[in-house]
Amino acid sequence: MWLVYKKELLEILRDKKTLIFSILLPTIIFPVLFFGIGKFTQSKTQEAEIKELKIAFINGNTFEGLPDLFTAEKHFKKVELESSDYKAEILNDKVDFIIEVPENSEMPSQSRKQELINLYYKGASKLDNISNKRVKDIIEAYNNTERLALGERFNLTTDNVKAFNKPIAVENKNFASERERIGEFAGPLIAYILIALAVSGAMYPALELGVGEKERGTLETLLLTPMTKGKIVLAKFGVIFTASFFTVIVTLLSYFVWTWIFTMGGKMSGLDFLSNISGLDLLLVAVLLVPLTSIFASIMLSASIYAKNMKEAQAYMSPIFMLGFMPVIVAFVPGMELTVKTAMIPITNVALAMKDLVKGTVDYSMIMVLLGSTVVIAGALLYFTTQFFKKEKVLFRS
């Protein structure tokens, strides 16, 4: 059996397509794209935050001091309109924002009532929303000044003004740690990535060791050896499991390396909580992946053995991918926790356990329940694959 395992593993390592999809893509290309897009997005956001905005005022002096607040701020430029067609002025990029104070308006501190201004702009993207927020922040600062002025007109103290503006203020006292709060979303996301890697890492070896051998005509030669079909299946299963698990581990290591490279050796914002995850929790994440990877290795090997050709086998892989991804989405649902019931649901249980491990709120007794149920399922699927392989109508299906 070990000789077949070694032979099949060497064949997989010699196959350039498998190396590209199982090692090169997840360890080099995907991380570079991931961090590259992240850096590009960050740079575009920073660019929007410091972009010089051209702003025009219509009757702006009615609200004394409002235009001065904008000109006092960096990256704002006051311009004059060339026409009364506000839409054309904005769409032709002659101005970014137009603030119009309607005729007969007064400063709120004088009129003692709410006044209205019109803000014209073009907001079609998230970057436009950043610029919009910069303008509204300055308007809000002017509002604060007017609130205090109104308070003086009505003989109100600063505390009175605050009470009218917000009668009850809420000061948050959240006992949840930063690790718990970030882990609530990051946990399922990490589980999604790891399970996706386990599925994709098993697919290409399964195709090569099943239907690939059928098409090459080497399966018949292997069946003529004195080795039992059960041991042949175990050898093939072992190679697929090794390739899948290796893909996950190597990809994780590559992401740590690329994180270090792209942050110039510093800490990446938002990932500091990962430093609080213990070695035991990381070990349990790896342990959870063992039976899960076994499940997909068995399913994909069965599908590959059953398929008549590579095209048919690849068609079977899409539903298997969905089988791997859809249950993970359940872990994103608010309120979903690892309990005795959810510990019995394949794939979902692993995702929920990983979420709790990342959050630091895991019940270790539930991990044992989960492992027990997952190992039983993995063993049953491996047994099914072994029996499936023994049927000649499956092996030589035409």
Q: How confident is the model at residue 101 (pLDDT cuts 50, 70, 90)?
A: very high
DSSP structural state of residue 101 = P
Domain ranges within the chain, ordered by starting residue: 2-31+178-395, 51-165
Task: Please state the rounded mean pLDDT for residues 65-87.
Answer: 90
**Range with the poorest average pLDDT among 105-119, 127-141, 327-341:** 327-341
Contact 161, 147 (CB under 8 A): yes
N- to C-terminal Cα distance for the chain? 28
Contact 322, 316 (CB under 8 A): no
Q: What percent of the chain has pLDDT over 90?
A: 21
**Residue 259: per-residue pLDDT:** 65
Q: What is the pLDDT of residues 127-142, one digit of tens each?
A: 788 889 999 999 999 9
Q: Look at residues 169, 115, 117, 119 and name the one whose alpha carbon lies nearest to residue 147.
A: 115
**Residue 59: per-residue pLDDT:** 92
Q: Look at residues 141, 138, 143 and name the one whose alpha carbon lies nearest to residue 116.
A: 143
Res 210 pLDDT > 90: no
**CB atoms < 10 A from the CB of 269, how many?**
8
Average pLDDT, the chain: 83
Task: Report residue 31: phi and psi, to 5°.
Answer: -60, -40
**Residue 266: per-residue pLDDT:** 47
Which string of DSSP letters, residue by residue, matches 284-346? HHHHHHHHHHHHHHHHHHHHHHH-SSHHHHHHHHHHHHHHHHHHHHGGGSTT----TTGGGST
Task: Please state the rounded mean pLDDT for residues 295-323.
Answer: 88
Q: Look at residues 171, 161, 202 and name the one whose alpha carbon lies nearest to residue 304.
A: 202
Q: How confident is the model at residue 261 (pLDDT cuts 50, 70, 90)?
A: low
**Residue 41: per-residue pLDDT:** 81
Res 268 pLDDT > 70: no
- Determine whether domain 51-165 maps to CATH 3.40.1710: yes
What's the pTM? 0.69
Res 271 pLDDT > 60: no
- State whether residue 43 is helix, strand or coil: helix
Q: How confident is the model at residue 274 (pLDDT cuts 50, 70, 90)?
A: low
Measured between alpha carbons, how far is 137 from 116 in angstroms, rounded to an integer?
16
Res 171 pLDDT > 90: no
Measured between alpha carbons, how far is 299 from 196 in angstroms, rounded to an integer?
15
**Residue 53: per-residue pLDDT:** 92
**Range with the poorest average pLDDT among 8-17, 34-43, 342-351, 364-373:** 8-17
Task: Please state the rounded mean pLDDT for residues 152-171.
Answer: 86
**Residue 265: per-residue pLDDT:** 52
Q: What amino acid is encoded at 318 in this protein?
A: S
Res 389 pLDDT > 60: yes
Task: Please state the rounded mean pLDDT for residues 84-102.
Answer: 93
Res 398 pLDDT > 70: no
